[in-house]
Structure 1
Amino acid sequence: MKQFLVVLIGLSVFTLVVLAAPNGPRKSCCLKYSKKVPNFNNIEEYKIQENDGSCRIKAVVFTVKGKRYCFDLKKEGVKKLVEKHSKREQR
């Protein structure tokens, strides 16, 4: 009887640990905006981060020399960079 109880408790703990584990890889989110807007020629790529529940701010994420920088899409200079980069990608 004691062995049965130990096995039952062990299975219960194992089940709780498995169910509490995060599902899949965590998404890397911008937490704040960078201040200095990069030079257009240095931008390798960009993406838009949505405020979708897993990330708390909406941002444009520019990749410059392999590093990610987050900017507020409402800033005029950032809007122009996104438009210019979009045109360059369409060619």
Structure 2
Amino acid sequence: LALFPGAFDCCTKISDEIPKGILRRVRRFEIQEADGLCHLEAVILHVKGKKFCVNPWIRKVQKMIRKIKHKIHRSRPHVRRRRRTRMTKRK
């Protein structure tokens, strides 16, 4: 374990199909490249403590990755500003 810390995080099998319900619940993803210790190209989807290894060339997966990246790279969320109201003295 000490010699190869990343070897046990690699996906050994990938799925070619993924249900839409799982894609909707993805919290984050990692891209595993086929170099170094991992010999398989994959996308690791994290859903509530579970990991799913899927083929990175599936169109639904690519669309989900673009959607998540767009959410991350927005400058800041839209915040509705309140109007300032003048405090008037009551008699």
Q: TM-score, normalised by structure 1?
A: 0.66
Structure 1: distance between partners of 2:60 and 2:28: 16
* 1:58 corresponds to which of 41, 46, 58: 41
- Partner residue in 1 for 2:56: 73
What SS class does the counterpart of residue 72 from structure 2 fall into?
helix
Shift of residue 23, structure 1, vs aligned partner: 1.7
- Partner residue in 1 for 2:18: 36
Which ranges of 4 or more aligned residues in structure 1 deviate by more than 4 Å? none
Q: How many aligned residue pairs are there? A: 70
Task: Structure 1 unaligned segments of length 5 or more: list them.
Answer: 1-20
Task: Structure 2 unaligned segments of length 5 or more: list them.
Answer: 75-91
Q: TM-score, normalised by structure 2?
A: 0.66
Structure 2: distance between partners of 1:84 and 1:68: 19
